[in-house]
A and B are shown apart, each in its own frame.
Chain A
Amino acid sequence: MSLWTKLCSALILVVVLAVLLAYSPTVYLAESSDADEVLVFLEEVVSLDMAKYDVTQLGTSVTYPDWLDGLAQLTGKYTLESETSKIDVLFKFRNNTLSWCLMRILEGSPHYLNAPSANIRDLATIFLQRYQAYSGDSELEAMRSLLDVVDVTENSTTVASAMELTVSITSFSSSFDWRYTLDGAEYGGVDVSFRNGHFYAFGDDRSYYKPSTP
């Protein structure tokens, strides 16, 4: 091979490598696969028929906020689109656990595997049942038991066995907040809200929240 050929080959290789390095995907695979867990949550807990949607992942980032004492927080957004339905989904993972998910219906009616109940108590109960099946968390049983004994048609706070359930009914949403309390200190909990008969938002801070002192 002549020196000229060798130089040309080297130059081509430099250009190819430079372009590849410049445009290699900046999305971290680990982040994407963690974030995909949200789609499982939407199918198994919210009962969305994910096969009917084109899914696009938007702004997503990993941060280490001071208040989480070194734990990672993965924050992001998906858009779900079909011909008749458009939904935005926001999420946060903390301590590698899905800690927040919000579903904003932008257009049409969502495609469900099982249509949601028209009864607000049933909506909350079924959500907890499915969340328990999804997470394998037996603590959720106690939350369901407490839900069974409260009036879900008006604002109330009920305490039983170190657990407090707050029901908030507003013109915007109906929300349920279960929180462990002991000697005035608040521990982690679960909350879920529904809007216009659909799941709206959910949070679970039990995997990272440190109790406040009274």
Chain B
Amino acid sequence: MKKNVALTLLCLLLSVSLIFSILILSIDNENGSHGDGKNEGSAFIIWGTLDYTDETYMGGEKERNASRDVCDTIYGFFADAHAYDYIENFWGNDTQPDQVYSNVSYCEENYNFTAIFYKGHSLGTHCDVENCTFGEHWTLYAAGGYREEYIVDYLIHDRMSSGTHDFVFLWTCGYGAEDKIGEIDENGHSVGMLASWMDTTDLEADGYASPDGSNHCFIGFDVYSIWFSNKTGYADFDYGDFASLFFKYALYEGWTINDALDAAAEETHWQSSFGDCRLYTGYLMADPYNPEQPAVCYMRVWGDGNLKLLRVEGED
């Protein structure tokens, strides 16, 4: 009888201890995301167009569906990481120019670190700002795409206040090229996506091979971006897998942008590093301006490849 009572008491003690330990952990986790300053004030936003109408140069419905699915997956990684205070997946109908601009303002004013991922297309335009000397400006397709209202470079920059868009990854054509990074004039008028999103034109051109320690990193494409639905040639991987694996690894504790690029390249390409992979060394894409001759294209990493998306206290 006494033995039974003792056993019951022991079980009771262990159960109560378990409940308390869960309570301690949940309180600790709440503090981890806000109270102790760790990862405090971080935002991550996904934007993306719905327009993949052209089968030959946009990839059609297959590419559109792949874009939707990969953006969902990436959003899930950030949600699971519990490291960001504001996470939104605005891919699709919510990618409206005004929505983009107001989110730029909101993040600049409220977070000390913002990461952006955009999937879509690029187009040139002109601006009506008085005394603008830049000539051509650059845009991103919004939800509606071609001939709808676009997301314009200088209108993004107009919403800058604290310069805290520290990681911007534009999976679209052209904006990683040296001649497209842009400028900011003495009146604060900008051209180019890198300059407009990041409020700087002073990043190292090869932030993968030579990280500049700026804590700012911009990833874009030189010439044409590769489609998510394109196969990498290893196993059954495609470039959507590369994108999602990149973000998965970038959210590992202590991992940098470069680490994530390497790990994603290794897994999807059977190349032992991003530096050995064709995204870095050059890949061929069909060129609408010269159908006979494919264009050599690159993924470019500007700035600081040692930047971490899973930030710790003291990193601004």
Q: Which residues of A contact B (CB under 8 A)?
A: 10, 13-15, 17-22, 58-61, 67, 75, 77, 79, 88, 90, 92, 100, 102, 104, 106, 168, 170, 172-173, 175, 189, 191-193, 195, 200-203, 205, 209, 212
Contacts and interface: CB of A to CB of B under 8 A. Distances in A.
Interface in B268-288: 270-273, 275-276, 280-281
Interface stretch (B49-57, B148-156, B189-197, B256-264): B256-264
Contact of A193 (B235, B237, B272): B272
B273 A67 contact: no
B25 interface: yes
A209 B259 CA distance: 23
Given A59-B255, A170-B281, A67 B236 contact: yes
A175 B249 contact: no
Interface string B197-241: 000000000000100000000000000000000000001110000
Nearest to B10: A13
B273 A200 contact: yes
A59 B263 contact: no
A77 B24 contact: no
Interface stretch (B15-23, B63-71, B97-105, B108-116): B15-23
A59 B252 contact: yes
Given A58-B253, A58-B255, A77-B254, A175 B13 contact: no
B124 to A, nearest CB: 31
Contacts of B258: 104
B7 interface: no
B132 interface: no
B14 interface: yes
B158 interface: no
B13 A168 contact: no
Contact of B266 (A14, A88, A100): A100
Contacts of B262: 90, 102, 201
Nearest to A67: B235
Interface in B141-167: none
Given A22-B21, A203-B266, A168 B276 contact: yes
B67 to A, nearest CB: 20
Contacts of A21: 17-18, 21
Contacts of B235: 67, 209, 212
B166 to A, nearest CB: 20
